[in-house]
A and B are shown apart, each in its own frame.
Chain A
Amino acid sequence: MPKIPLAEVVDRIVDWFTDTFGNSLDAFSDTFGDIIKGLQNLLAFLPWWVIIIIFALLAWKASGWKLAVGSTLGLLFIYNLKLWPAFLDTLVLVIISALVCIIIGIPIGIMAGRNHKVNRLITPILDFMQTMPSFVYLIPALMFFGLGKVPAVFATVIFAMPPAIRLTSLGIRQVPEDLVEVGEAFGSTPWQLLWKIQLPVALPTIMAGINQTMMLSLSMVVIAAMIGAGGFGAGVLYAIGQMKIGMGFENGVAVVIMAIILDRLTQGVGRSFRTDDKDN
């Protein structure tokens, strides 16, 4: 029995896609690249201690002084290891990827939460996106955008978006039936129902989704070093190639520190929504 030419078919489709949309892809890539570069320049322009102070303030606001102290110590440690430029590279990619995920993912999640058909349609797509080994996404990203930060963001967004969609949809569907009835019984428009009832009630769940998206973004941005994303991932990759175990460890520890800070920070924001709502 002959082999089914799955690889050939995929190749043909991707070729056709790049041939047909090549120009617009390039234009998109350029614009997007500029945005990334802009944010990067901004962060590089700021002295390192200003960034540490900004993080400390955010942490203090979102969670409390413990997290503020912890993130300050963690970032000082990263600075001390001379990994500050790698940290900024990784940070920019995580922020931009997570933002794109939120901007695209939350509206899709809202649609899926309010409409069973949309939900049934996207569930298998999301399953597919999440079960695929993450570095497989690097291939189409590479084909469309070449090497660099734009394909890194592209691959990261595909990998990290599902939780934002899923948990937004879940949050909307978990709004108690009688609260939705309140909205309808008092004559709310669908838009008022969404903004005044469904989204606020679903907010803690949506924030949990954003937290997960953030974490997945970080893990994918590290992997995306394989296609030239730079940052901590590049350090790890180089260390693997050169068998420099110590250097690989330094970069790995830096990733862990960054992950903990981002995780606690977004969780803290989620919680503060909850408590702001009730305890003041």
Chain B
Amino acid sequence: MSEKIVVKNLVKVFGGHPQKALSMLKAGEPKDEILKETGLTVGINDVSFTINQGEIFVVMGLSGSGKSTILRCLNRLIEPSSGSITINGTDITKLKDKDLRVFRQERTAMVFQQFALLPHRTVLQNTAYGLEVKGVEKKQREDKAVAVLEMVGLKGYEDKYPDQLSGGMKQRVGLARALSNDSDILLMDEAFSALDPLIREEMQDELLSLQQKMNKTIVFITHDLNEALKLGDRIAFLRDGALVQVGTPEDITNNPANDYIVKFVRGVDRSKILTTGDVMKKPQPFITTRDGPGVALRIMKEHGISSVFVVDREKHLKGVITVDLAVESRNAGIQSLQDVELPQGPVVREDVPIQETLGIIAESKLPMGVVDDNHKLIGIIVRGSILAALSSDKGGDGDA
């Protein structure tokens, strides 16, 4: 694999006149000392790494670790204080304004955490923004935008405005805007962090499948370990502006470089961190109260399950129907489940730590439903998915 982005000794000091802070850093003084002495904050402290062509490189860290700053140095939305960033053989820290603009137009595209769609533009015009800035003809750029929108599953939404879209759709537009530029580097700043758990997972899968076709170089910022493990070909762990470890997901989980990462990866009981929202699956299949016991039996047979959730037209959870009960009702000649007294399985909200649900799930014969404030069914939890989530504790979750 060829080297695409080479970052050497990158330093970012926030505030004016960083010379003194830089020389103190060189002398090995700690950040607090520098802040006390000069009043300047060290955002990134001597970071070096290499990103290869075609890989998804995840920069992982908690808030304040400097991960967004690193990303913004790569296209110089933030000016590095010292160090070099070589992309395709050019040191971009030396580019003049005009060359920098061309570099941004041709080489990089960015996806933002809060989507950052232009509210006065349609989905199509948002998607074509990068091409418009480049000076591509209207017809040509809109054809391209239409094609990319179809690729991210937004065909038919071209003339909508951003505030008519859901969060997941907005970020699809954000992704489409970045892709329509045909740049070879994609910078993604916590791109999926603002999305609901289910949508987030969907977008992660989508990104992975798009990446198989596109083979771009992707720098992905996240604070979510599971996301990092799922997406990253390699992961860089960042703490207080310094690199702690760079490696494949297997490296990180099996050979953590120090206690900090150990704590991160396995030191904590995952059943306390993961919530029901993290492990729930899409509420499928389900049937409605208008269906009869025959439908229930057919769906259970189709999916090889012994019970199925019953909801009303607004998706409010009404209960669970088991095979036995369905057979009994059918034999009794009941037409609609409205006339059946349905057993109630265990129900939780989506923000409950799964640890608290373990006892209930172990004792209940019925699957657990996840509902929102209005008692609408938003997900289901089966034993298998909890076990899978907990077992990734043992490492080797990288290919998940």
A, B co-complexed: yes
Inter-chain contact B130/A186, CB cutoff 8 Å: yes
Inter-chain contact B77/A200, CB cutoff 8 Å: no
Which residues of B lie under 8 Å from residue A8 when comparing CB positions? none
Given known contacts A181-B77, A181-B112, A185-B110, A277 and B133 CB-to-CB distance under 8 angstroms:
no
Given known contacts A185-B110, A186-B109, A187-B134, A277 and B101 CB-to-CB distance under 8 angstroms:
no
A176 at the interface (CB under 8 A from B): yes
Inter-chain contact B118/A179, CB cutoff 8 Å: yes
Question: In chain A between 266 and 280, which residues have their CB closer than 8 angstroms to a CB of chain B?
Answer: 277-279
The stretch from A30-38, A165-173, A189-197, A230-238 touching chain B is A189-197
User: In whole Å, how far is B14's beta carbon from the nearest beta carbon of chain A?
Assistant: 15
User: In whole Å, how far is A272's beta carbon from the nearest beta carbon of chain B?
Assistant: 13
User: In whole Å, how far is A280's beta carbon from the nearest beta carbon of chain B?
Assistant: 8
User: In whole Å, how far is B25's beta carbon from the nearest beta carbon of chain A?
Assistant: 27
The majority secondary structure among interface residues of chain A is helix
Inter-chain contact B119/A196, CB cutoff 8 Å: no
B233 at the interface (CB under 8 A from A): no
Which residues of B lie under 8 Å from residue A127 when comparing CB positions? none
A83 at the interface (CB under 8 A from B): no
The interface size bin for chain B is: 20 to 34
Inter-chain contact B133/A192, CB cutoff 8 Å: yes
Which residues of B lie under 8 Å from residue A186 when comparing CB positions? 104-105, 109-110, 129-130, 133, 177, 181
User: In whole Å, how far is A77's beta carbon from the nearest beta carbon of chain B?
Assistant: 39
Which residues of B lie under 8 Å from residue A188 when comparing CB positions? 101, 133
B116 at the interface (CB under 8 A from A): yes
A27 at the interface (CB under 8 A from B): no
Inter-chain contact A182/B161, CB cutoff 8 Å: no
Give the residue among A183, A196, A203 with the most B Cβ atoms within 10 A: A196
Which residues of A lie under 8 Å from residue B187 when comparing CB positions? 185
User: In whole Å, how far is B376's beta carbon from the nearest beta carbon of chain A?
Assistant: 28
Given known contacts A277-B161, A278-B161, A189 and B116 CB-to-CB distance under 8 angstroms:
no
Which residues of A lie under 8 Å from residue B132 when comparing CB positions? 196
User: In whole Å, how far is B13's beta carbon from the nearest beta carbon of chain A?
Assistant: 20
Inter-chain contact B77/A185, CB cutoff 8 Å: yes
Inter-chain contact A176/B120, CB cutoff 8 Å: no
Inter-chain contact B129/A182, CB cutoff 8 Å: yes
Inter-chain contact A185/B114, CB cutoff 8 Å: no
Return the CB mask of B84-108 against A: 1 if under 8 Å, else 0: 0000000000000000111111101
B163 at the interface (CB under 8 A from A): yes
Inter-chain contact A200/B112, CB cutoff 8 Å: no
Inter-chain contact B75/A185, CB cutoff 8 Å: yes
Which residues of B lie under 8 Å from residue A197 when comparing CB positions? 118
A186 to B108, CA, bound (A): 8
A201 to B181, CA, bound (A): 23
Question: In chain B between 5 and 41, which residues have their CB closer than 8 angstroms to a CB of chain A?
Answer: none
A257 to B129, CA, bound (A): 45
A15 at the interface (CB under 8 A from B): no
3 closest Cβ contacts across the A-B interface?
Answer: A187-B105, A187-B104, A178-B116
The chain A residues found within 8 Å of chain B, CB to CB, are 176, 178-179, 181-189, 192, 196-197, 200-201, 203, 277-279
**What are 25 A-B pairs with beta-carbon distances under 8 A?**
A176-B116, A178-B113, A178-B116, A181-B77, A181-B116, A182-B110, A182-B112, A182-B118, A184-B104, A185-B109, A186-B105, A186-B109, A186-B129, A186-B181, A187-B100, A187-B102, A187-B106, A187-B130, A187-B133, A188-B133, A196-B132, A200-B118, A200-B120, A201-B119, A203-B120
Other than the known A184-B104, A186-B104, what 18 A-B pairs have Cβ atoms closer than 8 Å? A176-B114, A179-B116, A181-B110, A182-B118, A185-B109, A185-B110, A185-B187, A187-B101, A187-B104, A187-B105, A187-B134, A188-B133, A189-B101, A189-B133, A192-B133, A196-B118, A200-B120, A201-B120
